[in-house]
Every structure is written in structure tokens, then in C-alpha cells.
Amino acid sequence: MECTVSWMGDHGMAFVASTGSGHIVAMDGAPEGGGNNLAPQPMEMVLLGTGGCTAYDVVLILKKSRQDVHGCAVKLEAERASSDPKVFTRINFHFTVTGRNLNRATVERAIHLSHEKYCSASIMLGKTADLTHTLEIVEA
């Protein structure tokens, strides 16, 4: 896996990232850091990547468990350290899983397996942050 991150020049703190799989993502800094807030900040990208990683796992595990899953959203709320390095210190993952006759224990197991075994991003962040999760199941 690889990527290239390039600064967009003298007019702020915007960057463009090119991934090894051929995708492009923009990032920008907050105004107080010299950015123009035109794209997600780098640490927001870390957080959203983690959400994507765990949601992917949960959906895959539920499908393999023959659950009739129709949707999965995860809202991440994080706190960071007040001094440098401003690592994440707490992250709550609120899952909203939609489907028909979903088994709560199976959904909880899928979330647990993601956090403990499969989601590389949340496992890495768990080295500095207290990770918690909440769950809402919505009948489709």
C-alpha cells in the first residue's frame, strides 16, 4: 500500500493525496493553522478512515452470518489530547444497523470482532484512545 501527499503551494495548507489504487483525496488545514478549511483535515481523515474500516467489517461479518442487513452507519465522536502530539484519547463509535429481524447478539459480535480482530485502524487507535461503542438496530 502506498500514497503520495503533495502540498498545493503558498496559498494555505491544502494537500492532495494520490493513493496507490488510483484515487485522489484533498485535505486542508483549519484557518487557525494557516488553512482555508476547504477539505477535511488530516486527523478527520484518520477518523473517517477508521469509521469506514469498521463499518466494512461489520457489514461483511453480518452478511457472512446470513443476517438481512440493509444499512450500516457509524458516527465517531473523538477527543484528542490537549498538547502535542494531539493523539486521539477517546473515541465512541455509534453504530446504526438497519435490517430485517437482525439478531442483536450477532450484530454486537460483529462489532466486537471488528474492534478486536479485523479493523486495523481501530486496533491502532486503541493503543492511545479508549474505544467504546453504542448500538442502535433499526427494523427495515
Q: Specify the pLDDT at position 11.
A: 83
How confident is the model over 15-30, as pLDDT tens digits? 999 999 999 999 999 9
Sheet holding 15-19, edge to edge: 3-7, 15-19, 24-27
Can you give the pTM of this predicted structure?
A: 0.92
Q: Specify the pLDDT at position 10.
A: 83
How confident is the model over 69-97, as pLDDT tens digits? 999 999 999 999 999 999 999 999 999 99
Q: Specify the pLDDT at position 84.
A: 95
